[in-house]
Structure 1
């Protein structure tokens, strides 16, 4: 994980103390068990309980709910956690994403009733947008929400759901009206609702400790009091959450890349060939320099986007840019880290092969990098003509 000497741009002494707290937890509670638990496919629920009790699951939200940190600080917390274990860093990002709808579009009564437990009461959330037949084309989702008196009945299947089957609540986007984006509404569904079930988790290349599963809604009945925002506002709510969530993915990617660089540098300084450390050879030194430069560039970009968000300015284009650049950089840096370690890098005895497998998914989740390029291009040249 990042060494204490990593330069961080933090706005206050309080933020500096917060980062130190996160590093202490990461070094003491998370990193030592990461390899073993990932290999065993074990989800660290107790870690999320610890983070919740430490006030780390509500950081980007209002102070009355235990947060009130700038987004630029919250993202650097994510980076630290992801460097220790991506399952934890990404899990916190997904949890924050699942709270976004209620925190930003819920009524005062809804926020008062649910947010304290969601942000600091030990609960864990999941975000249900994607479906088996609608991933990048999220507006074509088919899960239905049908009114029945003062209730809604949800029927359908969500796919690729992080924390599927272990979450205490699900923020669900479902079709309550006609086709397209305007027919979608958001709901807050308790994890123990009757008719809600999760499939066996997917068998993944990496992040084996983080359950990713289909979630089935078989006539799940919830009160209209759990509808978030207006009917038909769901897609707008989803998009507003994704801009922030993409920055979370960018920060996690830089955390994984930093961990890979730190491992590569340590190995290169310790490993000797031809009578001297391999870190003395120019070809390898240049590789390390390029890796470090990509990390710093990615960190600067996601922080720049976060500061726009903190200032209340548009940041959608910059969020897409940050997600694109940071995750591509993580893939390149982790691959190069394996190369630095040579044959050892290809074995599970060293963590860089795990970092490389984990980096791949970051180019896919919360909008593939091809989708990010489409988003950026639309900001530059306008919508595509048909």
Structure 2
């Protein structure tokens, strides 16, 4: 039997499996329970956050032989056929390749027919923003007054490209980026179930790199698991995926905070020797300064900083040796240089100079302290 990728094996099959999207699943389940299912839905959000999965689960819930139910049974013939993509009354359309007026007219002609076996005919249209303006206009009348047996479920990563006249005819659900901690917990569950040995820190690295996308996280985990046998560590994840070594990142941060330009510059040199992208390193350096600021100002910052406990302790020790004002100045300097680094043909050189400027930042002396020093000096001179 061929290998099944983690993202496919662990694709959500029930509303409870859609992590991080409780506001969507609760509304859809209540609509089914109360018999208030709309005829057109629009699911928007970044890639890999559960839009298409939610559309399929909704289709199964509406077509389930034991329903309509607020959760599909996944055991009846209808649920199994939808999962396999073979149900005659649930049609998935890729709008990227079916976006012309003729394609939409063909769809309009087909919606007239009654369901072959299910209660409804359900059309799941993915990447619907790729449909042309003329094709959207041809669909408007059907979308406003569809046959009673038809449900449209549109999914898109770019809702700004969809006509307002289409948006006004749909119930819109915005899928959120999934928090790092939520992705981390899900990956732990997957690894525990599949018997995979991997350190908690390594999983957190994968979750952070996914950028809020569960599918991306699962794909990265798949890649990491191909590295080798035995327990996978953070170092192996860094090596496999080409991530920036967190130790190197913290070395540069420490050098900047203590004001050691030579050590900071040596850190940037190692970044270039390892072949890391200067632009990506600058972004991660900026994120680390953000974490440092949060830890310096918030007593219980663990819930606001997605970092392992050892990294949090390291930043906490650094924050104790500087001031929030100095961290803010460094953050502002690097944020201002980030655009120059991104656009430059020599980003490494711009990064070097930027890090040197960060290392030269000194804490502000409060005006009150300066006044007190002047007064004390005047008194000494007068005496």
**TM range, smaller chain:** under 0.3
Q: Which has the higher contact order (CA 8 A, sep 6+)?
A: 1
- Please identify the structure whose Cα radius of gyration is greater: 2
Q: TM-score, normalised by structure 2?
A: 0.27
Q: TM-score, normalised by structure 1?
A: 0.27
Which protein has the bigger strand share? Answer: 1
